[in-house]
Copies of this chain bind each other. A is one copy, B any other.
Amino acid sequence: MGKKVKTAITPTREEDYPQWYQEVVKASDMSENSPVRGCMVIKPWGFAIWENIQREMDAMFKETGVKNAYFPLFIPLSYLEKEAEHVEGFAKECAVVTHHKLEKADEGGLKPAGELAEPLIVRPTSETIIGESMSKWTSSYRDLPILLNQWANVVRWEMRTRMFLRTSEFLWQEGHTAHATKEEAVERTLQMLDLYTKFVEEQLAMPVVRGQKSESERFPGADDTTCIEAMMQDKRALQAGTSHFLGQHFAKGSDITFQNEAGEEAYAWTTSWGTSTRMIGGMIMVHSDDDGLVVPPRVAPAHVVILPIIKKGGDNTEVMESALALKAALREKVYHGRVVEVEIDDRDIGGARGWDWVKRGIPVRIELGPRDIANNSVFMARRDTNKKAGMDRDEFVNTITDILDDIQNTLFQRALKYREDNTFSIDDKDEFYALYKKAKGYNNGAFVMSHWCGSGKCEEKIKKDLSVTIRCIPFDSPEEQGACICCGEKSEKRVLFAKAY
């Protein structure tokens, strides 16, 4: 029996995956629970990742003609009532504002006062309130398309929360578009899903499966929901983004009409699409290890940390100057539109210093001591492989962007291989059930491609028996004759089954 290797995170992934996740988040200094039930505090290291996501994604939106706007936080109760399916989906879990001031309570302290004539809902999503505006803005086909996005906080009351993955308040972007034709709206739905795919794969280094949701998993009120699904290390699926074709459903609810080219009054066709801070939860679970967070360079708050070797009570001028010079040289390099960001950590706290940066997942760590300076070398550690080696200092500076690209690519390829190694085609019901029945903890099954007849009953039975759901009907699933994994009826496509977050 080998000696147990000490890891920076306790427990390890295998020992207790959910707890490992919480400890990684905590140790990385990304966020913490707040005193407000279900809400988290996003600390600077975590928020900088969100800012990097925002900046890049926002630029991609704008390239497709989308413009940002801002709509009210509050939605009148009557607006939710307009959309029967919509409210069924959100009424169970929303924050309701009923008063507009506080007054002194008889028993001391304060109590709500000034009851509102109509309660307001803190937005769980903004289809209804944006629909109201679109209705005003649309009179002719010339006013279409309307292509909007909003970066905002939304609230969906949650009883069981996990930082980044499921919180009562979360940050997201929600895109909303209105079009003159069905074709254009369908095209926009897929265009945004493609954009999300590109973003998540290239920036977060998370490979995804693209597809369509089954009817039961659709957004409330949507004609069609498309999504991207990523595999976490425990082999569960995480939905990293959705893009909805809403048909004329919301246009009818919000009266978004226009005069078409033939001079007839018509309803617009709308879409909505969103991604959230949940992506960060996915990023953590895909790449991190038993030593803590691993952040892909493209979204890392900083790329390199320099750890000068400080002599207690000695003269550290030379090493500090050398560290500053190295930082300056690195910051002259541009990595995908961003300056190479460098931290210098000169805290005198021994080995804990290096571990802090391992746990924060910074892509590259550099140790720099008098001997390195004399040799014009650096001692480099990569967070992705944990490989450490001495390196010529000039070469390091000149190849830093290549090193970062290599880290980014290594993370993506590793995640892709992991998913491929854990994706199976299964045609036998017993085999399917056996696989998921033994699934638990870190080893949470697999992605399974199986035939499905299309019936909600079969879907429901599998969900009830195994807590396994149809994550999506993948776009690249070939037409193929087969038998439903549940009822044996004929099927023409395999769909993706998995346990999910």
Contacts and interface: CB of A to CB of B under 8 A. Distances in A.
Nearest to A99: B96
B96 A122 contact: no
Interface string A334-360: 000000000000010000000000000
B93 A122 contact: no
Nearest to A122: B97
Given A70-B171, A120-B95, A102 B129 contact: no
A133 B70 CA distance: 29
B95 A74 contact: yes
A92 interface: yes
Interface string A125-156: 00001001100100000100000100011010
A76 B39 CA distance: 12
B91 A101 contact: yes
A36 B76 contact: yes
Contact of A36 (B36, B72, B99, B103): B72
Given A34-B71, A44-B67, A97 B96 contact: yes
Nearest to A277: B70
A119 interface: yes
Interface string A33-48: 0111001111110011
A41 B131 CA distance: 12
27 contacts: A32-B133, A34-B129, A36-B72, A36-B75, A36-B120, A36-B129, A39-B72, A40-B72, A41-B133, A42-B69, A42-B70, A44-B148, A47-B70, A70-B171, A73-B122, A91-B101, A94-B101, A94-B102, A95-B99, A95-B120, A96-B99, A97-B97, A98-B112, A100-B157, A112-B119, A142-B347, A152-B153
Scoring A44, A79, A129 by chain B CB atoms within 10 A of each residue's CB, the highest score goes to A44
Nearest to A121: B102
Nearest to A72: B39
Given A36-B75, A80-B102, A102-B80, A69 B44 contact: yes
A60 interface: no
Contacts of A136: 32
A373 interface: no
A60 to B, nearest CB: 15
B36 A48 contact: no
A169 B74 contact: yes
A95 B100 CA distance: 5
A87 interface: yes
B91 A96 contact: no
A97 B39 CA distance: 14
A39 B129 CA distance: 12
Given A48-B67, A112-B96, A153 B41 contact: no
